[in-house]
Amino acid sequence: MSISEKGNPNALANAVSNLDLDTPEKPYLDSNELIINMGPQHPATHGVLRVILKLDGEKVLGTECVIGYLHRGVEKIAENRTYTMFNPYVDRMDYCAAVSNGLGYCEAVEKLMNVEAPARAQYIRVILTELNRIASHQLWLGTHALDIGAMTPLFYTFRDREEILKIFERYCGARLTTHAFRIGGCQYETYAGFEKDVTNFLSFFAPKIDEYEALLTTNRIWLERTKNVGVISAADAIALGVTGPVLRASGVKWDLRKAQPYANYSKFDFEIPIGENGDTYDRYLVRMEEMRQSMRIIEQAVGGIPEGPIMGKVPKVIKPPVGEIYHSIEAPKGELGYFIVSDGSTQPYRLRVRPPSFVNLQALDIMVRGLLIADVVAVIGTIDIVLGEVDR
């Protein structure tokens, strides 16, 4: 067997033989079952995801995801880098929410070292992380709507996301993989006019969400394509470890920012939006509302940034004591966790990333069974995966 087997069409036959899918009692149409590949190069898979579909006509009988095309061995890299050197790598996992990844990693290491970032740094972190959550949801909305056939939202969301990226750029010089935080606090002081930029963004963006909603929320085509599509019950979602907006849309009111507050989220007022039906439409509504709630958090945070240092008392050489820690945050896509084992040296002995996209993707199968191929596209979009994070 060669290493490049994934690219080999014959591998499909092997993969299929492993598909143990329940055959329905009576066929949907009087046709033969068909196995086809969706991806890995497919615009609607949001990266390099290959889904093997078992079909009866247009109807999906089962799926199997083949992932790993973007595997870079992030966890192995971590073992060969110091804690500080590894920091920028985490931005490359979920590159749509690099700031969140950085926050999770820095907090995990801080926890392992038993230090805390100063208050001012916490505020800056929350503002940037929530801005990033909005940016991530905007990107999701644009591409998700595009997949389903609505092209305009993509232009709207990218136009408005630009404003957030500009703030990032002015703050730390980078737009996407920001590397905004350091272990112990923040590297950069806010630039002159940071608060004003953020406030301006809030007043600029509030009507824009309404604009998105005007395009979609009551749009008949949108409703037809998303209502009762990709339904997942709360029990199934929990059993499959699904987190984030997907879990909340199924009616579970659970958000790590509230359940086990990290950073200084306990200081801010915000609601956890939840859905009822656990379908694609509810997930859409939940994320739209989350953007509004993020704006609320930012509004409170930006008005209250305290003075003070932005870097905690951490040594130049990061050497956490022997021990292990698990720390997780509510990333835009769900629970992002870091499990770090330290042997007392400057390099992590073991660093495990618990990626929300990877775990959520596992629910794809249960969500698309019995639907049509076109709905698979909608469901992949609604889970909001980033393959950089799935494969790491």
Partner 1 sequence: MAEEVKTPAPPPPPQPQPAKTGPSGGSEGEKKPTAEKPAAAESAAPAKPAAPAGKSDVPAKAAAPAKPAVPTPVPWTSPLVEKYRNQYGSGLEALTYLGQNYLSVDRSLIPDILRRLREDEQFDYCVDVTAAHYPKREKQFDVIWILYSFARNERMRVKTQIADGASIASAVSIWPTANWLEREVYDMFGIRFDGHPDLKRILLPDGWKGYPLRKDYGILQQDTEWVQINLGIESGQ
Q: Could you tell me the smallest distance in angstroms from the CB atom of residue 208 to partner 1? A: 34
Q: Could you tell me the smallest distance in angstroms from the CB atom of residue 164 to partner 1? A: 30
Q: What order of strands is seen across the sheet that includes strand 348-354?
A: 323-331, 334-342, 348-354
> How far is residue 334 from each of residues 57, 151, 240, 304, 331, measured CA to CA in Å?
34, 26, 13, 27, 5
How far is 379 from 371, CA to CA, in rounded Å? 10
How far is 44 from 50, CA to CA, in rounded Å? 11
Q: Which residues bind to partner 1, rule: CB under 8 A?
A: 1-6, 11, 14, 18, 20, 67-68, 71, 73, 75-76, 79-80, 111-116, 238-242, 252, 254, 259-260, 313, 321-326, 328, 335, 337, 339, 341, 343-345, 349-350, 352, 354, 358-359, 362, 391-392
> How far is residue 178 from each of residues 87, 143, 340, measured CA to CA in Å?
11, 22, 22
DSSP output for 147-159: HHT--HHHHHHHH
Considering the complex, state which of residue 68 and residue 88 has its C-beta at the smaller distance from partner 1: 68
Q: Could you tell me the smallest distance in angstroms from the CB atom of residue 368 to partner 1? A: 16
Considering the complex, state which of residue 161 and residue 354 has its C-beta at the smaller distance from partner 1: 354
Considering the complex, state which of residue 2 and residue 32 has its C-beta at the smaller distance from partner 1: 2
3-state secondary structure of 326: strand
Q: Could you tell me the smallest distance in angstroms from the CB atom of residue 194 to partner 1? A: 27
Which tokens hold the place of 304?
Answer: 């209250």
Q: Could you tell me the smallest distance in angstroms from the CB atom of residue 32 to partner 1? A: 24
Considering the complex, state which of residue 67 and residue 154 has its C-beta at the smaller distance from partner 1: 67
Considering the complex, state which of residue 149 and residue 315 has its C-beta at the smaller distance from partner 1: 315
Place of tokens 């059993």: 239
Considering the complex, state which of residue 20 and residue 269 has its C-beta at the smaller distance from partner 1: 20
Q: Could you tell me the smallest distance in angstroms from the CB atom of residue 234 to partner 1? A: 10
Q: Could you tell me the smallest distance in angstroms from the CB atom of residue 263 to partner 1? A: 16
Considering the complex, state which of residue 209 and residue 383 has its C-beta at the smaller distance from partner 1: 383
Q: Could you tell me the smallest distance in angstroms from the CB atom of residue 211 to partner 1? A: 36
- Give residues with Cβ within 8 angstroms of 139, minimum separation 6: 96, 157, 158, 161
- Residue 71 burial (C-beta neighbours within 10 Å; 0-12, 13-18, 19+): exposed
Strand partners for 55: 34, 60
Q: Could you tell me the smallest distance in angstroms from the CB atom of residue 16 to partner 1? A: 12
Strand partners for 182: 185
> Within 10 Å of residue 43's Cβ, how many Cβ atoms?
10
Q: Phi/psi of residue 296, each to 5°? A: -60, -45
Considering the complex, state which of residue 223 and residue 259 has its C-beta at the smaller distance from partner 1: 259
Considering the complex, state which of residue 77 and residue 373 has its C-beta at the smaller distance from partner 1: 77
Stated length of the chain: 392
Helix ranges restricted to H, 114-243 = 119-148, 152-172, 194-216, 220-226, 234-239
